Amino acid sequence: MWLRPEEVLLKNALKLWLLERANDYFVLQRRRGHGEEGGGGGGLTGLLVGTLDSVLDSTAKVAPFRILHQIPGSQVYWSIACGTSREEIYKHWEWLEQNVMKTLSVFDSNEDITSFVHGKIRGLIAEEGKDSLVKGDDPEKFREALMKFEKCFGLAKQEKLVTYYSCSYWRGRVPCQGWLYLSSNFLSFYSFLLGSEIKLVISWDAISKLEKTSNVLLTESIHVCSRGEDYYFSMFLHINETFLLMEQLANYAVRRLFDKETFENDLDLNDPLKITKRTMENLAHSEQFSSFFRLPKEENLKEVHECLLRVPASHLSLHGRMCVFENYICFASHDVSLCSVVLPLREVLAVDKTDDSNQSVVISIKGKKAFRFSDVRDFEQLVTRLKLLCGATSSPQQDVSTELVPSPDPGSSGNSSKGPSLMEQKDCSKTVNTQALMTEFHPQDLENLDSKMLKEKMKEQSWNILFVEYGRGISMFRTKKTRDLVVRGIPETLRGELWLLFSGAINDMATNPGYYADMVERSLGTYMVATDEIERDLRRSLPEHPAFQSETGISALRRVLTAYAYRNPKIGYCQAMNILTSVLLLYAKEEAAFWLLVAVCERMLPDYFNHRIIGALVDQAVFEELIREHLPQLTGHMTDMTFFSSISLSWFLTLFISVLPIESAVNVVDCFFYDGIKAILQLGLAVLDYNMEQLLTCKDDAEAVTVLNRFFNNVTNKDSPLPSTVQQGSATADAKSHQTKVDVTDLIREANEKYGDIRYEDVYSMRRRSRLYVIQVLEDTTKQNVLRVVSQDVKFGLHDLEELYDIFKREHFLSCYWNLTSTALRHHDPSLPYLEQYQIDCQQFRILYHLLSPWAYSANRDCLALWTFRLLDENSDCLINFKEFSCAFDILYNGSFTEKLKLLFKLHIPPAFTEVESVSPSKGDQLSEDELLRFSQFHGRGKLDVQAYLKQWQDELFKKEENIKDLPRMNQVQFIQLSKTFYNLFHGHPEEEKLYQSIAFVTNLLLRMEEVGRRLHSTMSLTKEKTNDSATKADSSNHTTSQNTEAAKEPSPLKEEHQWSFAFEQILASLLNEPVIVRFFEKPVDVQAKLADAKASQLSSRTRV
């Protein structure tokens, strides 16, 4: 590798470097202790030098060879190249001699020579850098680290090094100083101290826990748990930066390998070869900010600026960050509870800069409103870029204002884009409700106002005052006053409007006019997997509410759920969606309810409503972590934390709607749309805290569940204007008047006061960490279920079977690490039954066969692997699962002589057997990946009827006790190939000569037996033919033609001579008489040693491939 020229003094370095080659202008040196003849390590000097190379951050630590540029008579040298091997460094040396040495003689001065050499080397580095993936603050230093990374770990060239850090790895109580390398698929560590080498390679997908810890010995360290092993790393210069990047890389791997549905939608991460530290940091910021501001998932963060924003009414300027997205300009104060604003570019009319010294940017929007951002660095360039963005987003549909106007009923909420949707809605106006269900079933009586309605009107007045002070609609200021009003409960008439606003669903609805009507039209009458489930649950959704006792409410619910299932078939329909959608339809128009459901399922509660409800499990893990932190006395009493998961699942899936009376639950939904999942976590903690004393006295889980259910039944909403016939809590409260009632407003207020310090950023980080744990728990569950099923059919011990599963699964992932178009990623489907979730193709099977098979030393091992794969691939989909895989290796490891011989016999008859002729004769019996793929898909040759073979031994496949008499016979070509396989298996064995003699004797015996049988068959055929001839002569001449035709159909004796075959019983009986062959096949295999070797060499073996 060429290096940027650096000055080197050799006065004190001569003892560390040895001279290999030299000329007038260049010197090639070898590091002492490296490359010693005879494999020596250079003694004590070599150990010391190796330790220095590992600990110190210098060019010397990277490579054992280097080339220096020298000037005759000078003590100053310049390092210009280094290499990890003689072959590499000699290439550089030869290039210098051929291309540079001849040119140097034309220069008159030493300065000109040095200048020319330096310029030439820098040019080479620049040329190499054109196609390089290396990007960093110091490219030269990064290139050196990359070289050491490749040298130490021997991973594939495609493995992308993201960054590296100096740190200590704690082995017991001893710190080992070394280097931590973070790459796209692995966390790696290398240390070399006084002859002791430590090398760790941990794949991100195997990490179940990643956290920052501290104790008496370690002030601050990073704890990594993988496959039950704990690793601690400390003494980082920037531990927070390191930990954040490790979190991001681990989650990237998990999403790519385990959660491909969400990963495929993320275009920024589709190519693991393009991952850089900067890319990961930018992506994390983009995800965090877009989630906080409730923006569409496809929005990407462009730039962030520190600035001041003047807030109306308060006449204060708050310090915070302006975040510029592709279609939005957002602001959040550093204390996010103080102020936040979202400005869609479709609403922006003008962007200007002020002439004063405040470096201000003024953004004017529709509705005669302007926002002034001051103290903005590079504000002039920002104004120019914003003007370009606004120009790029202007279109006829986006000229429609999304400013929400006051309306006398909740049905008007969200109807901001009236222009664009007229054409699309005229055809569906008869089917889609244009009013919220609450408007029809609970109209307000404005003439007779009781005390509750008066309070409701006072709430509305408070919100109207807020709108006057801070604006109304998508661009309103969201301040502490806004939060206080949300905690008190949003008025019935404003609920649909504000839910739409706070959730960000208003943006989806404004930019997709007519979309819902189109989904309804397409989905109605279309049968989907979710259709039956939706129909079954329609009348279970708030059955006590009159809106869902009528066809109006049921039809609206059916349309929204069916339209969403049609829009997002990967989620389709999940139980709990019906309950949530019912509440949305009560307060929002049907179209608005649809977009609210989209916001909840796809942004606010990601991965909640799918096959594995990973999102809900992740948030439950976050909830448990918060319980440990805020309610330690409760965790001390409850030894099993899974109790909290079991009781809280419905809280998260239905936002407390399933456990609270409807009049109280809607207040929780208010807070959820404003604060997101943080509101549900806070309320959950408040519920447990409120019932702390009773829970501490509970003796079992059932008693604790009873305590919580009783509490929820007594949560009321004293200010709810809903009629008593609708309120679910009224009847319960009257029947149990002796129980203490809790007002939901007080409960929510207490949750905000006690646990309001939980930061959104912390929840976001805990979600990422918990996802690693949840995914590994689900994977362990899959593993245990697979092992339980497979263990009944094999003789492997449970530990050995578990090791084999790990190797099988690891091979599946190794195929995904560096291959962007890997079919293995498509093979993994968590929604399938456990056995089918992980499957491998023929190429992956070949690699495992080479690692695991006791016959892998055979010259035709590729053919054996191919035939074994074809035998196992019964459904011809070119994939096999772990059960099929383990059954084959169970025979190889634990099978008897008869079972192993029967396996070999099956491998040499269809459908497993196919004649293999490599297109590259020089490779012998080795097959390329393309050849392997072609032959694995080729299930026939010539006129061979494979189905006939399958039919002959179909019963044999399904019987528990196999009958060898059901196996098809083996023809001439197949028997010859079987004989070749025997010779290949016996090659190199200590008893090779005896084995050869025995197999030759058996082969000769079988051929003689077949010869006798063929002669007997020929004699019988001739006798039969003479009889037929006599009968033919006695017939009349008018039958001659027909008899000649029949005779033509009969096989002649000449043809019969070539149609000989063997039955399995013949081969088995012959081989049983040869003890040396029986001993060969019955020799026990050290399964544990074989599995350990395979596990140790699997990564390097895959790298070579």
Residue 1056 has pLDDT above 50, yes or no: no
How many other C-beta atoms are found inside a 10 Å radius of the C-beta of residue 266? 15
d(CA 521, CA 454): 42
R_g of the chain, CA atoms, integer Å: 38
Under the banding of pLDDT at 50, 70 and 90, the label for residue 480 is very high
Is residue 855 within 8 Å of 861, Cβ to Cβ?
Answer: yes
Is residue 318 within 8 Å of 338, Cβ to Cβ?
Answer: yes
**Beta-sheet pairing, 715-716 with 742-743:** parallel
- Start-to-end C-alpha separation, the chain: 24
Backbone φ and ψ of 943, nearest 5°: -100, 15
Residue 447 has pLDDT above 80, yes or no: no
Backbone φ and ψ of 1011, nearest 5°: -65, -45
Alpha-helical regions (H) of 56-154 = 86-99, 101-104, 110-129, 139-153
Identity of the highest mean pLDDT range in 560-569, 603-612, 1014-1023: 560-569
d(CA 206, CA 258): 11
d(CA 58, CA 147): 13
d(CA 466, CA 453): 20
Helix (H, G, I), strand (E, B) or coil at 163: strand
d(CA 328, CA 342): 7
* Helix, strand, coil % over all residues of the chain, rounded to 5: 55, 15, 30
> Residue 398 carries which DSSP code?
G
> Residue 268 carries which DSSP code?
G
The pTM assigned to this predicted structure is 0.78
Backbone φ and ψ of 304, nearest 5°: -130, 135
- Of 719, 727, 679, the closest CA to residue 489 belongs to 719
Is residue 187 within 8 Å of 223, Cβ to Cβ?
Answer: no
Mean pLDDT of the 474-491 span: 93
**Residue 1050 φ/ψ region, left for φ over 0, alpha for ψ in the -120 to 50 degree band, beta for the rest:** beta
Burial status of residue 948 (CB atoms within 10 A of its CB: 0-12, 13-18, 19 or more): exposed
Is residue 733 within 8 Å of 717, Cβ to Cβ?
Answer: no
Burial status of residue 1021 (CB atoms within 10 A of its CB: 0-12, 13-18, 19 or more): middle
> Residue 966 carries which DSSP code?
G
Backbone φ and ψ of 82, nearest 5°: -145, 165
How many other C-beta atoms are found inside a 10 Å radius of the C-beta of residue 415? 19
232-261 in b/e form (b: 16+ CB < 10 A) is bbbbbeebeebbbbbbbbbbbbbbbbbbbe
Helix (H, G, I), strand (E, B) or coil at 759: coil
- DSSP letter string, 856-897: TTSTTHHHHHHHHHHHH-TTSSS-EEHHHHHHHHHHHHH--H
> Residue 105 carries which DSSP code?
T
> Residue 526 carries which DSSP code?
-
d(CA 31, CA 48): 12
* Sign of CA pseudo-dihedral 748, 751, 757, 763: negative
Is residue 1060 within 8 Å of 1091, Cβ to Cβ?
Answer: no
Mean pLDDT of the 313-338 span: 90
505 pairs with which residues across the strands? Answer: none
Element holding 7 (H helix, E strand): strand 2-9
Tens digit of each residue's pLDDT (9 = 90 or more) over 38-96: 444 455 555 555 555 555 544 444 578 889 998 887 778 888 888 877 888 888 898 88
Non-local (6+) Cβ contacts of 25 within 8 A are 69, 70, 71, 72, 100, 101, 104, 113, 117
Non-local (6+) Cβ contacts of 472 within 8 A are 403, 404, 405, 406
d(CA 819, CA 804): 24
Mean pLDDT of the 223-240 span: 89
d(CA 1066, CA 328): 80
Token pair for 1075: 């003890």
Backbone φ and ψ of 105, nearest 5°: -70, -15
pLDDT at position 763 is: 92
| Cα-based torsion angle of the residue sequence 1013, 1018, 1023, 1026 in order, rounded to the nearest 10 degrees | 170
Mean pLDDT of the 1006-1035 span: 64
pLDDT at position 677 is: 94
- Of 442, 321, 454, the closest CA to residue 375 belongs to 321
Residue 187 has pLDDT above 50, yes or no: yes
Tens digit of each residue's pLDDT (9 = 90 or more) over 371-396: 999 988 888 889 999 998 887 554 44
Tens digit of each residue's pLDDT (9 = 90 or more) over 1058-1080: 567 888 998 999 999 999 999 99
Helices 842-852/798-817 angle, 10° precision: 130
Helices (H) and strands (E) in the chain, counts: 46, 26
Identify the residue with better confidence: 1069 or 1: 1069
d(CA 549, CA 440): 13
Element holding 324 (H helix, E strand): strand 316-325
**Range with the lowest mean pLDDT among 445-459, 649-663, 698-712?**
445-459
Tens digit of each residue's pLDDT (9 = 90 or more) over 949-979: 455 445 444 444 456 677 888 888 899 999 9
Element holding 1020 (H helix, E strand): helix 992-1034
Token pair for 442: 């609970």
Tens digit of each residue's pLDDT (9 = 90 or more) over 149-158: 988 888 888 8
Identify the residue with better confidence: 60 or 704: 704
Under the banding of pLDDT at 50, 70 and 90, the label for residue 453 is confident
Mean pLDDT of the 287-297 span: 91
Size (the chain), residues: 1105
Diameter over CA atoms, the chain: 127
Under the banding of pLDDT at 50, 70 and 90, the label for residue 419 is very low
d(CA 223, CA 164): 17
**Which single residue is written with the structure tokens 């699962």?**
881
d(CA 997, CA 150): 49
pLDDT at position 412 is: 39
Q: What angle do CA 778, 779, 784 make, to 5 degrees?
A: 100
Three-state SS annotation for 443-512: CCCCCCCCHHHHHHHHHHHHHHHHHHHHCCCCCCCEEHHHHHHHHHCCCHHHHHHHHHHHHCHHHHHHHC
Non-local (6+) Cβ contacts of 287 within 8 A are none
Token pair for 184: 């796209």
> Beta strands of 64-107 (E only): which ranges?
65-70, 76-83
Identity of the highest mean pLDDT range in 22-26, 169-173, 935-939: 22-26
d(CA 553, CA 538): 10
Is residue 277 within 8 Å of 136, Cβ to Cβ?
Answer: yes
